[in-house]
Structure 1
Amino acid sequence: MNAQSLLLQAADLRVNYGAFEVIRGVSLSVGDGEALAIIGPNGAGKTTLFKALTGEVNCRSGNVNFAGKDVTSMPAHERTIEGMGRTFQVSRVFLELTALENVVVALESRRRSRGEHTGAWWHTAPPPDLLAEAVGLLDQLGIASLRGETAATLSHGDKKRLELALALALEPKILMLDEPTAGMAPADRMRIVEVILRIRREKGVAVVMTEHDMDVIFSLADSVMVMNYGEVIAAGSVEEVRNDPTVREVYLGKDMYHAAG
């Protein structure tokens, strides 16, 4: 991968919670349109690494470059404007708003950040083109029929899909997906995989994700990074990591390895 194709690059990141070092010298790189999966046991530091990459926590040392800029000191909302889309283990949506209103808010935020005209205040008269785009995003995620439902009443899986719609509304260069299929039924997980694959194919969006479901990882990822106790213990292509004896034994398990092989 040449330097021109790099979208996200982190070098020697170190994060402390008090005296405890949670991230210990982690480096990674993600190219345009590439999908990287970060795996490891609970407590390995995956979510903290996500927070460091997206600006939710400060790094004690190291640097983060995104889309050609040093964003190490840039707060999370500014990294979002630069093109980082983000979802969370526990979905973050506006629970008191309908699914449609959630997406409209995200679209208006994108337009305002770009200095574009947003029309009347969304709650009374959202512009027709904005409404159409919002419905289109909900349809893309398979939840257009729920557009009038209050987000608080949606199922766990539908909340996760709505959160992904909010991230896509910002037209990100990269999607940072923290456990995107956590708590979903198998059929719902595969629907999310299909959506993400389509987004990558049609829009060329890069993906960085943490995920426990190895079927999801094998379906989506170009490369895999394995963490344990805040350190990277293996990295490479899906096949390279899958065939690493330590990773196979400790994280995949022999049965999962043979099932996926």
Structure 2
Amino acid sequence: MSTEPLLKATGLRVSYGSFEVIKGVDLSVRDGAALAVIGPNGAGKSTLFKALTGEIATHGGKVMFRGRDVTQMPAHLRTAEGMGRTFQVSRVFQELTALSNVIVALESRMRCKGERRGSWWRAAPAPSVVGEAEELLAQLGIAHLRDETAAAISHGDRKRLELALALALEPKILMLDEPTAGMAPADRMKIVDLILAIRREKGVAVVMTEHDMDVIFMISDQVLVLNYGEVIASGSVEEVRSSPIVREVYLGKDMYHAAG
């Protein structure tokens, strides 16, 4: 078994014009682990995510994924390598049904891996593909929405559908950008339970940004704290929770004691 981290960034830098947004960030995530990236608004969390997933170019440093240098690799190829991704605003095919959304993701994975299900002239998806899609919807708790268009389902269910699309690609790591944003508390807890189940049952690593500290503390093994594009703290949940600089810059004493 490899001792190399699954995902590793060293000296990562991102600039918008002359303004440096990410300033020499280092991070690493091992197989099956969960890292939360937190920080005040404007700290650079979303920019860091985009750099790690290949959505934007870096201006310094290196990104390694599964032992390969992917710093110059575009986002779609990182996805094919096993980097799943969700977004603050769910990106699903609004006009398609929930089932068709997952089928599209499954067929994309099969094309990338050179798999074939059924005859090449088949117009409809193979029964095995439909079955796999239905199973994913059931795992995410939205099997009853299989024939509903994505545009017609609730915000929380769209988040679950987006997670199903990411899982259809059989990722080694899930990059989750604000997975519970805009959700009611009950829906938030359902997403937490889903992410924990995915980690437990599939062994998938997780990197996430999230404003809800309770969600972070329930899911994450490690926490990295950004402020103005720089890492001001990194370590276990307890180490970060007890860090005076983190409490001052981000958590605040009231939030810290509430979380404890």
Output aligned runs, 1:139-154, within 5 Å. 139-154=138-153
Determine the structure 2 residue equivalent to 1:95. 94
Q: Report how far residue 246 of structure 1 moved.
A: 2.0
Counterpart residue identity of residue 50, structure 1: F
Q: Report how far residue 155 of structure 1 moved.
A: 1.1
Q: TM-score, normalised by structure 1?
A: 0.96
Residue by residue over 1:226-252, the C-alpha shift from the partner in whole angstroms, topping out at 9 and shown as x without a partner, is 001111111100000000112123322
Distance 1:180 1:123, change over 3 A: farther
What is the rounded CA distance, in whole Å, between the counterparts of 1:144 and 1:42 in structure 2? 36
Counterpart residue identity of residue 143, structure 2: A
Q: Are 1:105 and 1:122, in contact at CA under 8 Å, matched by a contact in 2?
A: no
What is the rounded CA distance, in whole Å, between the counterparts of 2:182 and 2:25 in structure 1? 28
Distance 1:139 1:12, change over 3 A: same
Q: 4+ residue stretches of structure 1 with deviation over 6 A?
A: 120-123
Q: Report how far residue 120 of structure 1 moved.
A: 6.2
Distance 1:244 1:126, change over 3 A: same
- The alignment-based identity, stated in percent, is 75
SS of equivalent residue, structure 1 residue 92 = coil
Determine the structure 2 residue equivalent to 1:66. 65
Q: Report how far residue 59 of structure 1 moved.
A: 0.6
Q: TM-score, normalised by structure 2?
A: 0.96
Counterpart residue identity of residue 90, structure 1: V
Determine the structure 1 residue equivalent to 2:182. 183
Counterpart residue identity of residue 245, structure 1: P
Which is further off, 200-209 or 250-259?
250-259
Determine the structure 2 residue equivalent to 1:109. 108
Residue by residue over 1:121-152, the C-alpha shift from the partner in whole angstroms, topping out at 9 and shown as x without a partner, is 89952111111111111111111101100111
RMSD, aligned α-carbons: 1.6
What is the rounded CA distance, in whole Å, between the counterparts of 1:249 and 1:260 in structure 2? 15
Determine the structure 2 residue equivalent to 1:234. 233
Determine the structure 1 residue equivalent to 2:30. 31
Q: Report how far residue 118 of structure 1 moved.
A: 3.6
Counterpart residue identity of residue 82, structure 1: E
Q: Report how far residue 192 of structure 1 moved.
A: 0.6
Distance 1:91 1:239, change over 3 A: same
What is the rounded CA distance, in whole Å, between the counterparts of 1:249 and 1:160 in structure 2? 32
What is the rounded CA distance, in whole Å, between the counterparts of 1:202 and 1:29 in structure 2? 22
Determine the structure 2 residue equivalent to 1:7. 6
Distance 1:25 1:145, change over 3 A: same
Q: Are 2:117 and 2:128, in contact at CA under 8 Å, matched by a contact in 1?
A: no
Determine the structure 1 residue equivalent to 2:165. 166
Q: Report how far residue 154 of structure 1 moved.
A: 1.3
Residue by residue over 1:89-133, the C-alpha shift from the partner in whole angstroms, topping out at 9 and shown as x without a partner, is 111000110000000000000111100004468995211111111
What is the rounded CA distance, in whole Å, between the counterparts of 2:168 and 2:38 in structure 1? 27
Q: Are 2:4 and 2:67, in contact at CA under 8 Å, matched by a contact in 1?
A: no
Residue by residue over 1:38-95, the C-alpha shift from the partner in whole angstroms, topping out at 9 and shown as x without a partner, is 0001111001100100111111110000001000111000000000000001110001
Name stretches of at least 5 consecutive residues in structure 2 with no aligned partner.
none
Matched length: 260
Output aligned runs, 1:250-261, within 5 Å. 250-261=249-260
Determine the structure 2 residue equivalent to 1:215. 214
What is the rounded CA distance, in whole Å, between the counterparts of 2:224 and 2:117 in structure 1? 41
What is the rounded CA distance, in whole Å, between the counterparts of 2:25 and 2:196 in structure 1? 27
SS of equivalent residue, structure 1 residue 180 = coil
SS of equivalent residue, structure 1 residue 232 = strand
Q: Are 1:38 and 1:227, in contact at CA under 8 Å, matched by a contact in 2?
A: yes
Q: Are 1:5 and 1:32, in contact at CA under 8 Å, matched by a contact in 2?
A: no
Distance 1:60 1:3, change over 3 A: farther
